Amino acid sequence: MKIRYEFVNGEVSEIEVDDSLGELLVDFDRQQYNNDHKETRRHVSLDGMDYEGELFASAEDTEGELLRREDMARLLEAMEALSPSQRELVLKVYFNGRSLVSIAAEEGVSHVAIVRRLNRIYGKLRKKL
pLDDT band at residue 4 using 50, 70 and 90 as cut-offs? confident
**Residue range 13-26: mean pLDDT, rounded:** 86
In a domain, 80, yes or no: yes
pLDDT of 40 reads 66
In this structure, the answer to whether residues 23 and 61 fall within a common structural domain is: no
Q: Quote the domain boundaries for residue 123.
A: 57-128
Whether residue 66 sits in one domain with residue 21: no
If asked whether residues 39 and 86 sit together in one domain, one would say no
Same domain, 79 and 38: no
Could you tell me if 83 and 109 lie in one domain? Answer: yes
Q: How far is 50 from 36, CA to CA, in rounded Å? A: 22
Confidence (pLDDT) at 114: 92
pLDDT per position as a tens digit, 30-75: 898 888 777 666 666 666 566 555 555 566 667 778 888 998 898 8
Q: What is the CATH number of the domain that holds 68?
A: 1.10.10.10
- The Cα–Cα gap between 20 and 22 comes to 5
Query: What per-residue confidence (pLDDT) applies to 100?
Result: 92
For 71-123, what is each residue's pLDDT tens digit? 889 888 888 889 999 999 998 998 899 999 999 999 999 999 999 999 999 99
The total domain count for the chain is 2
Q: Which of 52, 61, 10, 1 is nearest to 29 (CA)?
A: 1
